[in-house]
Structure 1
């Protein structure tokens, strides 16, 4: 897989650069429902093949992704926790 293939797959899925696995799966289901030949809104077999190929590319990338459990990454993923930690000792916001 190349980066160009990945960006084309993301473009086909109309996904932003930061998404969750749940968002990827939900978007795949939406697209399959819309374009599947056995009852979708649009009967386009080539489109469903492209969607499934794009999904495989995205899933391969996600499955091989190395997750970062670093503290900085945690606070980037959980901004509320970052604020709580930042202001935990403040008299107005903290527990004192």
Structure 2
């Protein structure tokens, strides 16, 4: 999935007032993945500035596995258009029906 088209249109309209915050979760991801790097940095939830995160990642960093149907794990390339990343490390990895 790619939201680049919608993102580009909104960014053109709002200019500097537009920010994109990506979200991901997978506290049990394997070594060498973006999700593992983020999970090791926190115990619950945190907001990471994407430019600093991109600069700190080794070039070999990949993406983790999906934890529930519909979850698309972030890749380091996905951070290019993001201003920040919210990572949730205290999830049980299960899908819950709330309504």
Normalising by the residue count of structure 1, what TM-score does the alignment of the two structures yield? 0.27
Higher helix share: 1
Normalising by the residue count of structure 2, what TM-score does the alignment of the two structures yield? 0.26
